Structure 1
Amino acid sequence: MSLYDEGHTIAGWTGFGIATVGSGVVGLGVCTVSVPALVGGLAIVGVSVLVTWVLHLSGWGKPPGVRPRGQWGMRTRDTRAREGHPGCVSCRLAGRGRPAEHPVPVPVVPGEARAASVPLSPAE
């Protein structure tokens, strides 16, 4: 079993449900050649993005990455959401948090060999 538990949150499932309804309305608009249904369905999908974002910022979404098994429950609220999650695009768009901690690239001096390599993921 994976340690990531991505998307198993109130924010994720609520956004999924609203986006599914919006996609169904878009599909209905395509089948009936109805521009108002197409526009309405796309508006519903846009609302799903905003609802998911607001729920994530209020603590009902979880940060990306590995979490302890005790925090996997869908009804478990994330208490660190107010500070923002490192590397989380949603938090960065809201002006919260800090950028992910990436190693600072070392400038290469001509004629000097570079020995250290930059890790590709946090697990390395």
Structure 2
Amino acid sequence: MDNSVAVPEVLLTKAECLARAGKVSDAAAILTNLRTNRITSNDTRTYTAANILQYVLDDRRRELFLHGGLRLFDLKRLNKDLSTQVTITRTNVAGNTVLGTVIPGSNRYLLPFSANVLAANPSIIQNSRQ
């Protein structure tokens, strides 16, 4: 697995910064360029100040799927902002039983330290997963 920084990640990070700064046309140009190489249908989007950030975040989620755990870091980062918080709910295949829910700020976003790390440094306190 390659966990290096990829060009799409850098482009989407730049687009997110531009969108947050209110530079809609610059962020839209990056998204359009990136999507030209990905989407084959006649995808016509209208980018506005109200929707550009969500488009960038949606494309970031699709483009960086299974790329080095970035989704976990994005969820942790985005859950600090009320406008981008999401509650994740997983259901069974039939969709009638909830298997788990993770709310923003939950300790379930924390990864436990390995036994080797805890043994090497007794000052480290294990992350709570409750």
| TM score, norm. by length of structure 1 | 0.32
**Looking at both structures, which has the greater relative contact order when contacts are Cα pairs under 8 Å and sequence separation is at least 6?**
1
Which has more radius of gyration? 1
Greater strand fraction, Structure 1 or Structure 2: 2
Q: Normalising to structure 2: TM-score of the pair?
A: 0.31
